[in-house]
Amino acid sequence: MAFSNEYTHRKVAETSAKSCEICYKPSSSVLITSDNKDWFYVCPSHLKDTGFCTPKIDHAAIEARKKKELEDEIERVKKEYEEKQKKKKERAEKKDDKEDKDKKDDKDDAKKTDDKEKSAVTKKEETSVSPTEDEEPRVFELKATFFQQRLFKKRQAEIAKRNRERLRDPNYFPSVPKNLP
């Protein structure tokens, strides 16, 4: 019957939004347990309220994501470096063929490559803003009072269901005596 106090934040379609459990405003955010035994709609503003719930941050996942991003960045820089080396070799070969003409072209190419490198660096800096800082936490733990309230509601719903099933069962009620006293 009991479930863990670990809820995952999920979004549903705006068309299927229902009232928030706290303030009764329409909300498309749902908190659901990992075993899907309990779920309820809640406003995103309540998720930021420390009196309602606390976010559970998975530091290992964040470190793994940062490490993967770093490896991807290293790989990208290596590719860029190899491309630059190839271009330098091609220029050196062309330089042997046409030294006079290439001197002017090299200066222009150098300026162009410097401009490209600068723009690439600025683009990289813009995209390197950490997405983990902007992301909202997905896993939450309810405060004790709210979690107890959820458990109480679940128990009451289970008791009501059991009572309905008992009332439907004809053997639940006593039968009329058939023998004379």
pLDDT tens for each residue of 100-120: 555 555 555 555 555 555 555
Phi, psi of 171 (to 5 degrees): -80, -5
Q: What pLDDT is stored for residue 107 in this prediction?
A: 58
- SS3 state at 142: strand
Asked if residue 130 has pLDDT above 80, the reply is no
For residues 138-167, give the mean pLDDT.
92
165-169 contacts, C-beta under 8 A, 24 or more apart = none
Asked if residue 43 has pLDDT above 60, the reply is yes
Over residues 83-104, the pLDDT tens digits come to 999 998 888 888 777 665 555 5
pLDDT confidence bin for 134, thresholds 50/70/90:
very low
Asked if residue 70 has pLDDT above 50, the reply is yes
User: Is residue 162 exposed (0-12), middle (13-18) or buried (19+ Cβ within 10 Å)?
Assistant: exposed
pTM exceeds 0.85 for this model: no
Q: What pLDDT is stored for residue 153 in this prediction?
A: 92
> 113-148 burial, b if ≥16 CB within 10 A, otherwise e?
eeeeeeeeeeeeeeeeeeeeeeeeeeebebeeebbe
pLDDT confidence bin for 61, thresholds 50/70/90:
confident
Closest by CA position to 10, among listed 44, 37, 60, 59: 44
Q: What pLDDT is stored for residue 32 in this prediction?
A: 92
Helix%, strand%, coil% for the chain, nearest 5:
60, 15, 30
In the chain, % of residues over pLDDT 70:
77
Asked if residue 172 has pLDDT above 60, the reply is yes
Residue 52 CB neighbours (<10 A): 18
For residues 120-141, give the mean pLDDT.
57
